[in-house]
């Protein structure tokens, strides 16, 4: 269900979904990652994927309650700030509030 939904969102923005580990797709030759917050008030940003998006001028598509916005990864970096990445899972991550992007 999750992958099918991401693929539809990427296509809606004119992109091509990918079937590999890492970012979710490509829009105009640039990587894109879909982040959805269904019940939470924040999006989880994974460090390694974020670094790839920034390095390759990629973007995020943030989705909540049928609202979506495409935001450049570099802009997301500014919103995340320079603080530490959380390590309570198998991968480092930070959170971005829904209100900061939608």
- 0.75 cut: is pTM over it? yes
58: its two tokens: 């990629």
For residue 40, the model assigns a pLDDT of 87
4: its two tokens: 């099918």
Give CA–CA dist 51/97, Å, rounded: 19
pLDDT reading at 1 higher than 60: no
pLDDT tens-digit profile of 4-46?
A: 888 899 999 999 998 877 888 999 999 999 999 988 899 999 9
Cα distances (angstroms) measured from residue 78 to each of 7, 33, 54, 61, 81: 27, 17, 11, 16, 5
């Amino acid at each position: 269900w999750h992958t099918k939904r991401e693929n539809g969102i990427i296509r809606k923005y004119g992109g091509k979904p990918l079937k590999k580990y890492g970012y979710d797709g490509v829009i105009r030759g640039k990587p894109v990652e879909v982040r959805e917050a269904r019940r939470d008030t924040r999006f989880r940003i994974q460090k390694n994927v974020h670094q790839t998006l920034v390095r390759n001028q990629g973007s995020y598509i943030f989705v909540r309650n049928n609202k979506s916005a495409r935001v450049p990864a570099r802009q997301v970096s500014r919103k995340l700030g320079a603080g530490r990445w959380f390590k309570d899972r198998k991968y480092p991550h930070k959170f971005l509030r829904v209100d900061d992007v939608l």
